[in-house]
Amino acid sequence: MSSSLGDHVLGVGQLIDVQWKVGMAMSSDTCKQLNCPFVTLTLTVAEAGGNLKTHPLELTMDQFRNFTNQLKEIGKVLEMV
């Protein structure tokens, strides 16, 4: 039995909103020094049943750069599909 790529869909919901803000850490386990900048992302996703769910993420600047680079790579791959 064969199946095509279109037969398999990953149900991750639909991205509805992205909110972000930059802050300064006053104390942290991941920052080596105080006053370390960080980015807070809040993703709002509509799940299959229509329920909205928020996913907060707090990233160091290095983690945020890595995250944005990964999104750029994903975008390039999606353009080729």
**Segment 3-26, tens digit of pLDDT:** 444 444 556 788 899 999 999 877
Domains belonging to the chain, first-starting first, are 12-80 (3.10.450)
Segment 33-61, tens digit of pLDDT: 667 888 999 999 998 888 999 999 999 89
Which residues contact residue 31 at a Cβ distance below 8 angstroms, ignoring those fewer than 6 apart?
Answer: 25, 38, 60
Instruction: Look up residue 49 and give its DSSP letter.
Output: T
Q: Give dist(CA 41, CA 66) in Å, integer.
A: 14
As a whole number of angstroms, the longest Cα–Cα distance in the chain is 58
Would you say 18 and 40 are in contact if contact means Cβ atoms under 8 Å apart?
A: no
| pTM score | 0.64
Q: Using CA atoms, how far apart are residues 33 and 24, in angstroms rounded to an integer?
A: 11
